[in-house]
Structure 1
Amino acid sequence: MQTSFPASEENFPIVLQKMIDYVQPYMSAIGLVKPGDDRKPPGDHCGTGSFITFNNQRYILTCDHVATRKKLGTLGFTQFDAEEGLSIANSFDCMPYPVDAAASPLSENSWHLISHRAKCIDRKMLSQSHRPVEGEYLFIYGFAAIDTKTAFGEHIIPGTGAFVHEVPYDPALDSENPKVIDGFHICMAFNPMNADQLEGRPAPLPLAEGMSGSLVWNTRYQELTMQEKHWSAEDSRITAILWASSTKTCSLAATPIEHLEPLFKKLERVC
């Protein structure tokens, strides 16, 4: 696992590294196994998910464009510190582009079937809306496809964490498809070749392919320290969901949390 912060950042607050240990248990790699795939192990990495609970019902949350790959075969998920993955048995409730979010319920049996240390996000960890203070440190954690390896008959998918800053919409994104909508989505700087390593191998960050579905966390570090308050990782709040990246503009695109609220309210009613 490797973490980074923008290369232009000086005097990075090392205390923020606590975000890594805090976020990891909530996250999941998502893979797709197509019919007839007889490789050992079968399947390919296709996205990132997170575990969230509403009224004691657990869900796996990811992007709609990741969830819709279920029609191509079997989607599977991983739990923190588990030795094997499990299939996503149930259908997804989806919000297509431009929101691009989806959630599938997980049964009690699937959650407890194997030993793990995964955790579920709850309501109080969600921001009401995306409103970080200017210059705030945002944190993303996901599973990049390029880092996926196989060894001893199993997939090895290390996670990647990065501290990023929000940036203005770049008109060069106008030609991207699907289109990043200025004023609806948010953009964050992400240049793998120009990031400073905090830990892990001395190599560039991976390209963000496979990180769709990663959550964007508002660390609230700047917000609280400017008020001379103590900061802890538990003060951070989820502020968006990552759905796209652009190598042209060296940026990531995410949907602010308030646009997912209809999905969350639906899941609460189902429970």
Structure 2
Amino acid sequence: MEIAHQDDVSPELRAWWRALCRETAEAMQDYCLPYVTPISHVISNDEGALEGTGGYLEFAGKRWLISNEHVLNDWQTRQFAHQFHGCDDVFRLAGMPTGIEKHPVDAAIWHIPDDVWNARPHQAVAVPSLRLARQHAPVAGELLFVAGFPQQRSHFYFNTLSSHATQLLAQERNPSTVSDLHANYVLVGYSTEKAQSVRPSGGAPLSEPPGMSGSLLWNTRRVECGMAGRPWSPDMAQVTGVLCRWDPQLVSVQAIRIEILRDFLARHTL
């Protein structure tokens, strides 16, 4: 497989690429949802609001919820909660974060003990440490995937916070012209105007990303496998970062590189 600019390829090759992207997006959608959770905060005894997104990881023999520092930095004055995929119950984050660091790391982790994880039936899954990439190094033109919970798709009804995930297949953008992009971050394209739904007859438009902070960023490795002539499946995808901020001027979101997060995890969990 070779990478070429879209304007330089034939209509047949463009159609093949669109079909490949659609197939990859459909395969990743159901696969990635069990690894993520909406993070909410309590407003009153019977009301809450979405704060951001988190992901479940296995690291150093324990389960963790990982998100951004700017999502969880009010933990001393707010009560935060998370929700396992396939379970309607909401679980409060008890105690204090095991690790939390401001920009340019912008990460926070919370231990999820076994009694909480096993309290109710659910389909949530924690990303094994072997599925965390060693560094952010996707091949040129690779397809990246993210699933999170934007504020535009989160509403409080009848004492229940209803959050619907947004899932997006995208590519990394060249940051060479961005003077203020910190070395800890990468740019991922996020265009609400140009995004295409895999279900055009019933798909929802792409929401603006506020609320997606803390979402796991996956390297699908679809292009990598194509270049090597190997069959691909979602099981081959690796977490390569965590979303942290929206850059509307660049029509992109920024994500923390996985090597920065690995260092953060090692310093706070080992």
Report if TM-score (shorter chain) is over 0.5.
Answer: yes
Residue 210 (str. 1) matches residue 211 (str. 2): yes
Deviates more, 1:113-122 or 1:138-147: 113-122
Within a 5 Å distance, the mapping from 1:133-212 to structure 2 comes to 133-169=139-175, 180-181=181-182, 183-199=183-199, 201-212=202-213
Unmatched runs of 5 consecutive residues or more in structure 1: 1-7
> How far apart, in 1, do the equivalents of 2:223 and 2:261 lie?
25
Helix, strand or coil: the match of 1:204?
A: coil
TM-score, structure 2 normalization? 0.87
Helix, strand or coil: the match of 1:254?
A: strand
What residue in structure 2 maps to residue 20 of structure 1?
29
Within a 5 Å distance, the mapping from 1:226-265 to structure 2 comes to 226-265=227-266
Shift of 1:12: 3.4
Which residue type is aligned with residue 257 of structure 1?
I
> How far apart, in 2, do the equivalents of 1:72 and 1:44 lie?
15
Native 8 Å contact 2:21 2:169 kept in 1: no
> How far apart, in 2, do the equivalents of 1:12 and 1:240 lie?
23
Native 8 Å contact 2:217 2:243 kept in 1: yes
Residue 96 (str. 1) matches residue 105 (str. 2): no
Stretches of 4+ moved more than 4 A in 1? none
Shift of 1:13: 3.7
Native 8 Å contact 2:65 2:112 kept in 1: yes
Residue 85 (str. 1) matches residue 90 (str. 2): yes
CA deviation digits over 1:4-23, x for unaligned, max 9? Answer: xxxx9633344312111211
Which residue type is aligned with residue 199 of structure 2?
E
> How far apart, in 1, do the equivalents of 2:108 and 2:127 lie?
15
What residue in structure 1 maps to residue 124 of structure 2?
118
Which structure has more relative contact order (CA 8 Å, sep 6+)? It is 1
> How far apart, in 1, do the equivalents of 2:253 and 2:210 lie?
10
Helix, strand or coil: the match of 1:212?
A: coil
Native 8 Å contact 2:50 2:211 kept in 1: yes
Of the three residues 19, 23, 33, the one matched with 1:11 is: 19
Unmatched runs of 5 consecutive residues or more in structure 2: 1-13
